[in-house]
Structures are given as C-alpha cells and as structure tokens.
Amino acid sequence: MELTLKQQNLLAKMQQQPEFSALSPSELTQIAEQTRLKNYQRGELLFDQGTPRNWFYFVVSGLVRLFHRNVDGLERFYAFRHRNGVLPLVGMLTNNDYAYVAEASTMVEVAAIPMSCYEQIVRANPAGLANLVRAMGEVIDLTENELQLMVTNNAKERLRQAIWFVAKQIGELDKKNQQVIINYPIAITEWAQISATSRETTSQVLQELKRQGQITYEQKCLTILNVDIDDWLSS
C-alpha cells in the first residue's frame, strides 16, 4: 500500500520521537496503515481512567491534560502532553486499562494507533522496546518530581515549582530573550489544582510574581522571565 502525503508527513514527525525512532520503514508503514486521525474539542476525553487500553496516541496538535480521579471523584493533576507527545506510557505492555484520564485542554488532533499493533511491533524490535522502556522510566521520574512539589508547606514555593514543572513539559525556550513560554492557556483554577493550592492564594501569588518581574500571565498564557539558560538546560 502506498502511503498518502499526509501519512508520510505524519510518519516523519513520529520518527523523530524515541517511541518510534528505532522502528524500520516497513514497521512504520504497518503502523501508518492502521492509524486514524481524530479530533477532540476542549473538554472532550481521549480516554477515561479504567477503560480498556485500546489505543496509543501521538499528539499532532493541541494540549492534553492527564489526571487521576480518586474513589471520591477528586482529580489530581498528572501531566500535560502537547505536539509530538505520546500517551499513555504508564501501563504499557502490562496493564489492560488506562491508568488515568486524558482530556483535551484545547482543540486537539491525534493519531490513534491500535495498541495491539504498536505493542506487537515494539515487542519484536529490541531497539524499539529499549526506547519505550526508557520513555516509561522518564515518566516515573516525572511523577517523582511532581511528588516533590508537595513536600513544602509554602504555597508560593509550591506554585513556583509547579510553573517550572509544567514549563519543562510544554514550555518553549527563547534563548535570545531568556524566557520560557508556555504557549497554551492554563487557567488559575488549573494552576491551583497542579500546585495543590487554593484558587485565591494562586491568584495572589501569580500577581506577586508578575509585580516582581518573574513572569507574565496574559490571557491565561504564562511566560517565565529572566531564565538562567544553563540552569534550564541542565534541569
């Protein structure tokens, strides 16, 4: 089967990511033939916690919010995924169900790959499997970093750490102006949830950080100012 230009462009993007970079052209073609492009409106779920883990997603555009829901229905922020990101990584190769909720924070386009197809291919490709395991390890590191945010009782410091945590996931470094731009709208209520802080306190701290010239926060998009480039690249 000859791939369309759109499929070829999609594969070129996917091949830049570790979850796909070690796969052969024939393996990538097999994936492309079974991949569906799907679009989600803001607030729609890509998948729900506890539902069958049938699809592996590659984010083409937009922002996806990942969170856990406890038995009381309370949400706990887990991570963001944006363009060229993949999900899920938690539970790959082992779990039957999704371990968390994936919700579109903006309009989102994804490439949906049948999980059985991807896992069958990657299990038979040692280099591809090694890359996937490394990516899963990075998710564990990410979770540990998030847990460390909760160590301090200082609400301001928790929010500062949360901003850094999110910026490392989806921020874009502007070396010339020594800025990191989070070019997606994240509401005060979301920052409050991420940092386990009240909305009122979060709003006050954001205003304080703005007055101190540490951030800008306009139309829900946040930019970190005066970034130490070496510190950013090494963290």
Q: State the Cα–Cα distance between residues 193 and 188, nearest whole angstrom.
A: 9
DSSP helix, strand, coil percent of the chain (3-state; round to 5) = 45, 25, 35
- The domain that contains 11 carries what CATH number? 2.60.120.10
- Say if residue 90 is in the same domain as residue 14: yes
- Say if residue 67 is in the same domain as residue 181: no
Length, in residues, of the chain: 235
- Say if residue 204 is in the same domain as residue 184: yes
- Our count of domains for the chain comes to 2
Other beta carbons within 10 angstroms of residue 152's beta carbon come to: 12
The confidence score (pLDDT) of residue 65 equals 95
pLDDT class of 96 with cuts at 50, 70, 90: very high
Percent of the chain scoring above 90 in pLDDT: 69
Per-residue CA distances from 164 to 57, 133, 171 (Å): 25, 25, 9
**DSSP, res 111:** E
Q: How far apart are the first and last CA of the chain?
A: 44
- Say if residue 113 is in the same domain as residue 216: no
Percent of the chain scoring above 70 in pLDDT: 95
Q: Last residue of some domain: 117, 149, 181?
A: 149
- Say if residue 48 is in the same domain as residue 144: yes
Q: Last residue of some domain: 96, 130, 149?
A: 149
pLDDT class of 6 with cuts at 50, 70, 90: confident
- β-bridge mates for residue 59, sequence order: 110
Q: In terms of pTM, does the model score above 0.85?
A: yes
What angle in degrees, to the nearest 10, is found between the helix axes of 126-149 and 115-123?
Answer: 120
Tell me: the pLDDT tens digits for 9-42?
Answer: 888 999 999 999 999 999 999 999 999 999 999 9
Helix (H) or strand (E) holding 79: strand 75-81
Residue numbers of the domain that contains 25: 5-149
- The domain that contains 221 carries what CATH number? 1.10.10.10
pLDDT class of 145 with cuts at 50, 70, 90: low
